[in-house]
Amino acid sequence: MKSENAAQRIIQFAFIALAGGAWYWATAAGKISPLFLPRPESVWNAFNRLLTLGQFWPPVRITLLTIAQAYAIAALCGILAGYLVTRSKFATEAVEPIIAGLFTIPITLFFPMFILFFGIGTGSKIAYGAVYGFFPIALSAIAGLGHVDERYLRAAQTMGASRLETFRHVLLPYAFPVILTGLRIGFFICFASVLGGETLSSVSGVGRNIALAAELMEPARMYAWIAFVILTAVSLNMLVTALENHAARRAGRS
């Protein structure tokens, strides 16, 4: 297992190194105009200027807080919806296809409605990310909570467990590995939705700074923000994957 993990990390870092090398070679050789792809050192200098001038952390804090709020709403509503739906086999068979069908619709089409209802501030991005992230979490909660072994439920009822105790000690532990997958997908959907919403229409945040740099024809500054977003997404994905694997191993031992 350790050797497999080491091999995976080597492949991941090799890919990053190859991408960085290709970027450096293309810009150093003059194959691509700096207007479209600036040199790595120009991007690094632009990033340092953002830090020096105090223009980096304020939008980062706004974006992270927006993502956290959107994800908290999506996770809470998704798990609650999954629990309520799975209390009835009829409701599960009737509602799950509706949620799955709605998830296939590009929510981006309705982004102007979020702007109309919540304005161009962070409220519209919170609502947008929460709605988009809700669907995978709800579907995973339905899949996990709807297939709990009936013997465990009957045993809990026999011992006089309340609904809350049954959910906490039977349903949630049994379904947690499946729900965790949905939580992971929902998180990155919230992450992408908030940043996309900030890029399309916002007054603050990382996405707004990317769009502003593009409008002002400052490619080095734009790529500095983009590189930060990519590194953050990759780091978070590795962290969440490690937590997911750890939870799966614990569930397998229990």
Q: What is the CATH number of the domain that holds 207?
A: 1.10.3720.10
Nearest-angstrom CA–CA distance, 3 and 7: 6
Confidence (pTM) = 0.86
Does a structural domain hold residue 23?
no
In a domain, 8, yes or no: no
**Domain presence at residue 115:** yes
Is the pLDDT at 48 greater than 70, yes or no?
yes
Average pLDDT over residues 107-128: 92
Tokens (6 digits) for 115: 């702007």
Number of domains composing the chain: 1
In a domain, 14, yes or no: no
Q: Which domain holds residue 121?
A: 39-47+55-253
Polymer length in residues for the chain:
254
Determine the pLDDT at residue 161.
Answer: 77
Q: What Cα–Cα distance (Å) separates residue 162 from each residue in 157, 158, 246?
A: 8, 11, 29
- pLDDT per residue over 22-34, tens digit each? 888 888 877 788 8
Q: pLDDT tens for residues 161-216?
A: 777 778 777 888 888 888 988 999 999 999 999 999 999 988 889 999 999 999 99
